[in-house]
Structure 1
Amino acid sequence: MAPRTRRALFSVTVFLATCAVAGTLINQRVDAQSATDESTLRDSLRNFTSVYSLVEQNYADKMTTDKTDKAIYDGAIPGMLHVLDPHSNFYDPKAYAQMREDQHGRYYGVGMTIQPQPDPKAKGGTKIVVLYPFEGTPSFKAGIRPGDTVLSVDDKSTEGMDTAGVAALLKGPRNTHVKVVMAREGAAKPLEFDLVRDEVSRQSVDIAFMIRPGVGYMHVTNFMETTSREVGDALDKFGDINGLVIDLRGNPGGLLNEAVNMSDKFLQKGQIVVSQRGRAFPDQVYRAAHGSDTKYPIVVLVNRNTASAAEIVSGALQDHDRALIVGETTFGKGLVQTVFQISENTGLALTTYHYYTPSGRLIQRNYNHVSLYDYYYVRDPSQLQDKTNREVKLTDSGRTVYGGGGITPDQPIENLKSNRFQNSLLSKYAFFNFSKHYLAVHNSVSKDFNVDDAVMQEFKSFLKSQDIDYTDQDIAGVQDWLKESIKSDLFTSQFGQLEGLKVRAEWDPQIAKAVTYLPEAQTLQDHLKLAQKTNPARN
């Protein structure tokens, strides 16, 4: 049998196996499934194989392996699942491996984030540059800097390659060598690095520091296997604090058990964190297993891209009046996917439950009669504010909260909006490229560096050299943002990603506003104590 035919048969087998898994789940606990329904399912599968056979035999172009894979992996299976809901999904072998890596939060490689940048002289019009090396990794220790251009890996030119291809070359077994050649602005010739691959751990808590005297701040990027441990380590490092800001903006979620374990660090023992209800499996209730006696006020900062496991944490802390939620209404992803391995490292993420907060709020927002694009990217602010048809629940102290559309903040904080000039600078990598230029000329910056008039004049000259148009009014209108962005990228290049993130956090107006709500968060706890004197807190 020809390899292409075997591959095509495997693709069809995966599709049928996916259907079988879905069908098995649908039929679990439904003993009265009729013979008519079973016959209809068999007829549907037979129709699919007949259609596929006709396509393979009669399509105008030859059905290559790539076309077969796309028809099955990108067409038939996702199409079937997306008819059900927006979050059921299929992982082909490459996507499945990436998902598992993301969940573990570690891999073997050299530890740097790379990205394409426009380069008219390069094949394909782009070059691969280092965004930043992860601190403590082989790349960081070797002195690789943000802005370095990857020319070759083990003597294989990266010209014309995408980031996935270059990343695959950089990854490999632990303790193996990889030769990387870089171009650096200001260097007379390319730089050669002999790196030894090691385990690279990606941090879920990418930044945690004392943002004000007595006030801790942490940003949680996602929920993977190490998240609750990282949160615990950050709290231990803070020591005795008078308040805490937890930043969950842009957090897409992740592992349920890590969301539960993180919530456990702030709730009382036995309090409900989240419950999940489905049709084919028993309902489950997750509670704080250990609990915490922390008393300091907490403010949780969220936005429209805070989703899933991050909404579980936000909802639990809000329902138990343990934290004041501020920012924007969250995404509203309350469908639980169970990942079933199909074959050859492929996986089916099938919705099996719905998430509910401790007060009984459904987190998931409505997705009926909404396209996938509109579901993910287009949300009418007026619909989020309209609570007419939203379910009404009460927190432990009796405050009103709303379900069926994400987590509504207790206090809104408007999202930062950028203007045309700011978007132009970002799209042209102005700050990133200026940091390369500045360090090539000045060699280094110190920790007490600030962006003064001289630096701003140098930045303006750089913009002109890059044909980036601006007016004095453009500069004056966003001068604080410009100074923060310049300093952040320079600190990332000179001292590492953490220092660059700290610069951004210390300036961020949304974070500054969140800190001002700590007294209100304390009042929230005081009201809860008063309510508990007359009515025991709900578990």
Structure 2
Amino acid sequence: MASSENRWWWIASITIVTCSLVGGIWGPRTGLAAASEQDEIRNNLRRFSKILSLIEDQYAGEFDPEKAVFNGAIPVMLQRLDPHSQFFSPEAFKQLRDDQKGQYAGVGMQIQHRNGRTVVMFPFPKTPAYRVGLRPGDIIAEVNGETTEGLNTTEVAKRLRGPAGTTVRIGIERRGIEDLIEVEVTRARIPRRSVPVSFFLKPRVGFIRIDTFNEKTGQELDSALEKLGEGKLEGLILDLRGNRGGLLSQGVYVSGKFIERGQTVVSHHGRSSTERVYKAQTGNGNVLYPMVVMVNCDSASASEIVAGALQDHDRALIIGTNTFGKGLVQTVYPMSQSSGLALTTARYYTPSGRLIQRRYDNLSLYSYYASPCSQQYEPATDQVRLTDKGRTVYGGGGITPDFKLEDQKFNDFQTKLRRNYAFTNFAQEYTLARPNLAPGWEPDENTIAIFQKFLEKEKIVFATTDLIENESFIKRFVKREIYVSAYDLDEGNKVYYRLDPDVQKALGILPAARSLLEDGERVVAKR
């Protein structure tokens, strides 16, 4: 049974949450109406406390009051408001802050639950896990001498993490090696790179991918542009696909790097918050080059702020599918016991006045999150606005791209290969047998023949025509995984994006992006 002290901390948490929500819903009042509302709040809290105490004392089964509050009462209350207001337990709030800071203490690898085992997807370059030789496909069998059998990925990750400078012993199983391999790894501060990839797709045409918007994003973007030699660029592809957002300040900074100083990036206002306008602080310094921004249905929040600002100011063309449509501002309130509340306090609007947020009334939480990526989804087009050069754009349902792409679909054979982790497992075997793979390695017909024998050994059923019809697909994914295994994740990612068909399509509209910079009306006429 929980102590009375703990019980009253939970009630206090709900009191703070409730007061915050009332402030958001009703706003400041005075006189008898305010007193009446406060009396009603206190009465409701007394009822809740009485019910919680009764359940704790009399319920027939096991009862966890902390779980009932954190996973039950508070989330349900917030879900009645909107899909994005949420309460963070101390553990979840710490994870949120680590994500925002762009670093954590650990060994530096991404793991995945696969067929009941915890498998290394890849070690991050220049991290402790990379330096001790952990490889994609390694199975984490033990941590500090204790088996990982029966543990999920989160539980294994918690055992691997710890203060920087401490050590952890990891026992791994590796294909082709019978004995358990044991390594001792010294934990360190691991950066969560938000700009993991930047390189030249072709001479003077750069590619930059932004995965998320954390406290380091602006610095990382500056470094990427400096590495590419921004002043000499003749084109840039900015990839925001799958980027679900992050810190507003970083979304504003990224947008401000490409538009003129003083131009509006985004504004927000709510029922109880006055309008606030965010403008480009530094600007592009008159450095202009054609830009194409890639988005998809998982591009949300800060990603939509960037895409919307660059589209409204005719600075870039947007290619992909309609974005998610998450334009609600969450203010994060730290609370007692290291917990936190993310409460929706306003809505985002693009420079032309478009509302980014799509409707969420009369939708289940599942439908709300699944809808943008469904084939039946049709974004709202009732809000019609104009860009700086007079192009028509739409609001109320995310950002509509200038050039639409169909999501890449995998056929049955491709899906089978991915579900069986054929590329990762093949790459591990291939590179173990060839530890000194020469830089610039390319898959050829001999590689496909070796891959065919591997599929036969793994009992993955296929027809000869499958290999012939999917040869370019196989070479793309084999090359990516072999580069990750033989070199590092950075090299593998460059291969992956360079061979991405959608990136090639984005390259193809750079001439239209150049025309947009020179003459917006001419581009409109051609569309």
Q: Give the structure-1-normalised TM-score.
A: 0.92
CA contact (8 A) 2:435 2:486 kept: no
- Per the alignment, residue 61 of structure 1 pairs with 61
Letter of the 1:259 counterpart: G
Q: Does structure 2 conserve the Cα–Cα contact (< 8 Å) formed by 1:363 and 1:404?
A: yes
Moved more, 407-416 or 448-457: 448-457
Could you tell me which residue of structure 2 aligns to residue 374 of structure 1?
367
2:221 pairs with one of 227, 231, 236: 231
Q: Residue 365 in 1 paired to residue 358 in 2? A: yes
Aligned to 2:331: 338
Query: Does structure 1 residue 273 correspond to structure 2 residue 265?
Result: yes
What's the RMSD between the two structures over aligned residues?
2.0
In 1: Cα distance, 2:223 partner to 2:29 partner: 46
Show CA shifts across 1:290-336 (max 9, x none): 11122101000100110000000000000000000111110000000
Match of 2:450 in 1: 458
Trace 1:100-499 onto structure 2 (pairs within 5 A).
100-118=97-115, 126-239=116-229, 240-292=232-284, 293-379=286-372, 381=375, 383-384=377-378, 387=381, 390-499=382-491
Paired residues of 1:185 and 1:440 also in contact (CA < 8 A): no
Output the amino acid matched with 1:103.
Answer: Q
Counterpart of 2:20? Answer: 21
Specify the SS of the correspondent of 1:468: coil
SS at match of 1:84: coil
Q: Secondary structure at the match of 1:200?
A: strand
Cα distance in 2 for residues equivalent to 1:435 and 1:112? 18
1:13 partner amino acid: A
* Structure 2: segments with no counterpart, 5+ residues: none
Deviation, structure 1 residue 241: 0.9
Deviations 1:349-408 (A, max 9, x none): 000010000000000001010110000013455552563xx1111111111110000000
Q: Is the 8 A contact 1:138 1:196 kept in 2?
A: yes
CA distance in 2: counterparts of 1:530 and 1:425, whole angstroms = 45
Amino acid in structure 2 at the alignment position of 1:305: D
**Structure 1 CA distance, aligned partners of 2:262 and 2:375?**
36
Alignment partner of 1:44: what SS?
Answer: helix
SS for the counterpart of 1:191 is: strand
1:58-83 deviation line (CA, Å, top 9, x unaligned): 433132x3xx2332111111111011
Deviates more, 1:134-143 or 1:183-192: 183-192
Distance 2:12 2:411 in 1: 51
Q: For structure 1, list consecutive stretches of 5 or more residues without a partner in the other structure.
A: 119-125, 532-539
Aligned twin of 2:40: 40
* Structure 1 position 513 matched with structure 2 position 493: no
Q: Could you tell me how far 1:221 is from its partner in structure 2?
A: 0.2
Residue type matched to 2:90 in 1?
P
Matched to 1:101, the amino acid is: D
Match of 1:95 in 2: 92
Q: Which amino acid aligns with 2:52?
A: Y
Residue aligned with 1:291, SS: coil
> What's the counterpart of residue 537 of structure 1?
none
- Whichever residue aligns with residue 197 of structure 1, its letter is R
Quote the offset at 1:464 in angstroms: 2.3
Note the C-alpha offset of 1:36.
Answer: 3.8
TM-score (norm 2): 0.94
Give the deviation of 1:442 after TM superposition: 3.3
Match of 1:52 in 2: 52
SS at match of 2:385: strand
Task: State the secondary structure of the residue aligned to 2:47.
Answer: helix
Deviates more, 1:225-234 or 1:45-54: 45-54
The whole-number CA distance in structure 2 between the counterparts of 1:383 and 1:157 is 45
Q: Secondary structure at the match of 1:216?
A: strand
Indicate the larger mover: 34-43 or 135-144. Answer: 34-43
SS at match of 2:104: strand
Aligned residue for 1:190, secondary structure, equals strand
Q: Is the 8 A contact 1:305 1:331 kept in 2?
A: yes
Separation (CA, whole Å) in 1 of partners of 2:177 and 2:109: 20
Task: Note closer, same or farther for the CA distance 1:19–1:442 as it changes in structure 2 (3 Å cut).
Answer: same
In 1, Cα distance between equivalents of 2:246 and 2:210? 11
Q: Is the 8 A contact 1:186 1:441 kept in 2?
A: no
Q: Which digits, 9 at most, give the CA deviation of each residue in 1:444-468, with x for residues without a partner?
A: 4322322222221222222222222
Greater shift, 506-515 or 372-381, is seen at 372-381
Give 1:510 deviation, angstroms: 0.5
AA aligned opposite 2:176:
G
**Counterpart secondary structure, 1:160:** coil
3-state SS, counterpart of residue 339 of structure 1 = strand
Same amino acid, percent of matched pairs: 42
How far the C-alpha of 1:530 sits from its partner, in A, is 10
- Structure 2: how far apart are the matches of 1:474 and 1:57? 63
Aligned counterparts of 1:529 and 1:336: Cα–Cα separation in 2: 34
- Supply the distance in 2 between the matched residues of 1:378 and 1:423 (Cα, whole angstroms): 22
CA distance in 2 between counterparts of 1:326 and 1:148 reads 37
Q: Which residue of 2 aligns with 1:534?
A: none
1:172-203 CA distance string (max 9 Å, x none): 22222322222222335332322222211111
State the secondary structure of the residue aligned to 2:97.
helix
